[in-house]
Amino acid sequence: MSETGKANAKSDEAVLAEIGYQQELKRDWNLLQNFGVSFSIISVVTGITTLFATGLNVGGPAVMTWGWIAVSLMTILVGLSMAEIVSAIPTSGGPYFWSAVLAEPPHSAVAAWVTGWFNLVGQVAVTTGISYGCASLISSTATIVYPDQYTSTPGKIIAIHAGLLISHGLINTFGVRMLRLFNHSSVLLHSLGVGSLAIALLAKATSHQTSQFVFFKFYDGTGGWSERASPAYVAACGILFTQYTITGFDASAHMSEETKNAAWSAPLGVLTSIIVSAIFGYGVVLALLYSIQDLEGTLSAPQPVFKILLDVFGLVGAQIGMSLIILCVWHCGLFSVTSNSRMMYAFARDGGLPSKIFGVVDSRFDCPINTVWLSVVLAFLLALPSLGSSVAFTAATSIERKPRSPDGVIHSCTGIPDDEQSYGMDGSKKGRSVYMASQYQSESHRACGLS
């Protein structure tokens, strides 16, 4: 390691010690890899592909295009707040620990506990949504490609879902060093791969929808809720298409104890992943909307994105395109388990989970193995209702947004205690260490342009 690298490592460990923790996880991730984790979990192609039917039917193209801009801008504001705080308090705990530090002493333990459980439930739900969505894509694609040999059933989708989760768990357990390689491949697939697919889609399409359709066509496929309630109600539901997609950027914070020069890299990872994903994803949405060849067929298709690819590229080209998308979704699920396990590990370390067994790092693999498999098991269990309900996947995606939105509000609205004290999960006084760490990192704030 270079002298600069050693200095950064010492600085990171010193900051972590001031916050009150020892360095247990291996710190060998750089800025690009930290960005890559959040970029992979946001995975715009995952949200766009799995919820494109929802977007088209709940508000239509107008809500999809303008809603994307509005939600992206609001998410950047959340990201700015998060980046400001993680630069001062770079821990794997993320939002729940920030709430403990920033809340007034009488409320810090409660704020941390509530935020932590909001964050945990939301992360489990998003892991479920990603993996179950990937399983659904695989199953629906197989049904279209092999209509005589394969029929999609809830049981088959659950089996695929389980297999995907196991693959994610195994790589996170035994291949922590390999995660960096998967990180690089994920960034390439999500950027160059999906970008090339979007460009090819526009170039190959024999006809294109008008800009009037793309930006101003409102469609209510909800059974008349725009009349029973109002178009605004349908639009409010429709923007969940974007809200579900641009989420997971707190992963950069959860990976901060494994990132070199975390006070600099983690906040940049948060912000750049949101901005790049928002811009890149908007291009993908526009490419798909402009390239719709058969509107009625696309609206009624079980997988609208596959229908668009099929109409433009033919069967072979659509298979290649869907294979690329499925690979991206698989990478998204892989790093969702990574981020989820780090948050659970930190939460258990601070007493937020019922057992301390989940707050242990395995020294052989430099990984919190227990929380890796806890996240896998919980993500599997949350998908089981789909065996008896066709709306289970939609329910999972809505659960994902409801808990994780408040956890961002809680830590953003709390403030540094007046007596400059910080408190642990159990309400015990920790002294001035975290406040001092916050002041110590003020130069990082200014360097990042965050304050």
Assign 371 a pLDDT band (cuts: 50, 70, 90).
Answer: very high
Q: What is the pLDDT of residue 161?
A: 97
Q: What is the pLDDT of residue 4?
A: 44
As a whole number, the mean pLDDT across the chain is 84
Are 233 and 226 a contacting pair, CB within 8 Å? yes
Q: What is the pLDDT of residue 420?
A: 41
Distances (CA, A) of 364 to 24, 254, 334, 335, 348: 12, 21, 20, 20, 20
* 127-161 per-position pLDDT tens digit: 998 999 899 999 988 988 888 899 989 999 999 99
Distances (CA, A) of 40 to 64, 199, 250: 21, 20, 12
Are 36 and 186 a contacting pair, CB within 8 Å? yes
Q: Please give the average per-residue pLDDT across 430-448, as a whole number.
A: 34
Backbone angles phi, psi at 245, to 5 degrees: -70, -50
Return the CA Rg of the chain.
22
Asked whether residue 419 carries a pLDDT value surpassing 80, the answer given is no
Q: What is the pLDDT of residue 145?
A: 84
Strand 58-59 to 219-220 pairing:
antiparallel
Are 140 and 152 a contacting pair, CB within 8 Å? yes
Assign 202 a pLDDT band (cuts: 50, 70, 90).
Answer: very high
Assign 226 a pLDDT band (cuts: 50, 70, 90).
Answer: confident
Asked whether residue 403 carries a pLDDT value surpassing 50, the answer given is no
Instruction: Kindly tell me the sign of the dihedral angle through the C-alpha atoms of 91, 97, 98, 102.
Output: negative
Tokens describing residue 312: 């433009």
Assign 3 a pLDDT band (cuts: 50, 70, 90).
Answer: very low
Question: What region, left, alpha or beta, does residue 366 occupy, with left being phi > 0 and alpha being psi -120 to 50 degrees?
Answer: left
Assign 398 a pLDDT band (cuts: 50, 70, 90).
Answer: low
Distance CA 245, CA 121 (A): 17
Q: What is the pLDDT of residue 343?
A: 93
The share of the chain scoring above pLDDT 90, in percent, equals 52
346 vs 448 pLDDT, higher one: 346
CATH number, domain 49-415: 1.20.1740.10
Task: Kindly list the domain boundaries of the chain, sorted by start residue.
Answer: 49-415
Asked whether residue 445 carries a pLDDT value surpassing 60, the answer given is no
206 vs 437 pLDDT, higher one: 206
Nearest to 260 by CA among 16, 31, 14, 22: 31
